[in-house]
Chain A
Amino acid sequence: MKRNFKYLLAGLVFGIILVKSEVISWFRIQEMFRLQAFHMYGIICSAIVVGLIAILIIKRFRLKTFSGEDIIIPTKKFHWGNVYGGLIFGLGWALTGACPGPLFAQIGSGFLVVTVTLLSAIAGTWVYGAVRDGLPH
């Protein structure tokens, strides 16, 4: 519990950013997919650039975690799920106006009905686990 407290704190900060930047707004997602604003693209791209620079610095100077371990970033192997699953998630993203992070933040900010969307997303993950072997990867 104590060991995990820092992640609760990191999540808290992330949740506040998601709300205050209006990333959790269905309208912002609509605007993004209609190419009518730079807002969401600016957020995602600048987050990538900052993350990229941070990771380059970590690798270049072989920085370690606070407890002294080597930092390891797992490699992602390509599989066709990246494509099929990606397309399916995209359809859902435009409908709900939320990726998984914003779902949690929407609930916290008082949209209690989104609990239903989250439960449905959990069900979707469960069904994927159940039918996984029959799907092309």
Chain B
Amino acid sequence: MVRWGMVIDLKRCTGCHSCSVACKVEHHTPPGVFWAKVVRIESGKYPTVIRQAVPLLCMHCREPECEKVCPTGATKKQPDGRVTVDSDECVGCRYCAVACPYGARCFAPDWKDYFTGDKKPSSPYAEYSKKKWLEESDKGVVSKCDFCEERVEQGKQPACVNACPCEARTFGDLDDPESEVSQLIKKRRGMQLHPEYGTDASVYYLPAR
């Protein structure tokens, strides 16, 4: 059985936020909701200080904390390793958002336009986005990255992977030892965030140095 996962090469990531924008365009997420985001961290000590852009998204853990704490069963582990939220079942208690160690979940009480001066949507695109978002997700529920389920079903790469100009992201089957992701993890010592929580994340990071 396939287990989808992602490898992010921190040496290649320039922090251009293409992934964040591609994700917003693909899923029409409202303002304030970022399923893919990039943060910048500084590490090391002078004179060997490094400033690093680190892309973040849902880690699609094998043992997800969010799924354990969800009181409604809206958060589900799929057989292909993805962790999804059924917006028809979510009650918006946000226990999952509090329990997620990676800050990957977003709560949107309502859809609001980026520019709130006018009552009308600011552009045809904004109007379309609102329509699409409300078609696919109820207001007042939690949402998160689903590894672009529809794209992957069509044999495409997730939007963030597709959009990355530096090819810092690789998507594939973690259970296949010959897949590119498995090889990258093996050869370049890919690491998970917070392995001590026992979540067994499906997103791996290749060290910048």
Whether chain B is bound by chain A comes out as no
